[in-house]
Homo-oligomer: A and B are copies of this chain.
Amino acid sequence: MLTIQITTGSDVPIFRQIVEQIRAAIAGGKLRTGAPLPSVRGLANELVINHNTVAKAYSQLTRDGVIESQQGRGYFVVQRREIFTKAERVRRVNALVAPLVSEAVLLGFSEPELVSLVQKQFAKVMSDPQGKTS
């Protein structure tokens, strides 16, 4: 059973939170190839959000080749492919690392403090990909 948790009022849009959590669930092995996703309207009901928002998330995942729709049956996880080269993957992560480090330095964090926060978050994500305890 897949549990999605959204935070309203964040700067990251709801549809993207759904996208990210489903990708993380797949990456973490919680959703395997061929597994079914919650129905659009079912998930929308559960999260108390507009069903267009869920549809948008699924549509984006479909476009990215992560899931696929089977007419009348629902959405299912597709065989995942590695699309990015190592350099590209590093580039993408570093795009987030740079502003993080700037902000941390300006806020007075030391390197070990920052690393500790990263490790803590990493542990949290790996042990609880659906965010049940967050």
A contact set with B: CB distance below 8 Å:
8-9, 11-14, 20, 23-24, 26-28, 60, 63-64, 66, 68-71, 73, 76, 78, 80-85, 87-90, 92-109, 111, 114-115, 117-119, 121-123, 125-126
Contacts and interface: CB of A to CB of B under 8 A. Distances in A.
Nearest to A100: B96
A104 B40 CA distance: 26
A105 B92 CA distance: 12
A114 B9 CA distance: 28
B70 A106 contact: no
B121 A101 contact: yes
B102 A100 contact: no
A82 B108 contact: yes
Chain copies in the assembled complex: 4
A64 to B, nearest CB: 8
A27 B101 contact: yes
Top 4 A-B pairs ranked by shortest CB distance?
A27-B105, A96-B100, A24-B102, A27-B102
Contact of A94 (B12, B121, B125): B121
A101 B24 CA distance: 8
Among A84, A99, A100: residue with most chain B CB under 10 A: A99
B84 A88 contact: yes
A101 B121 CA distance: 7
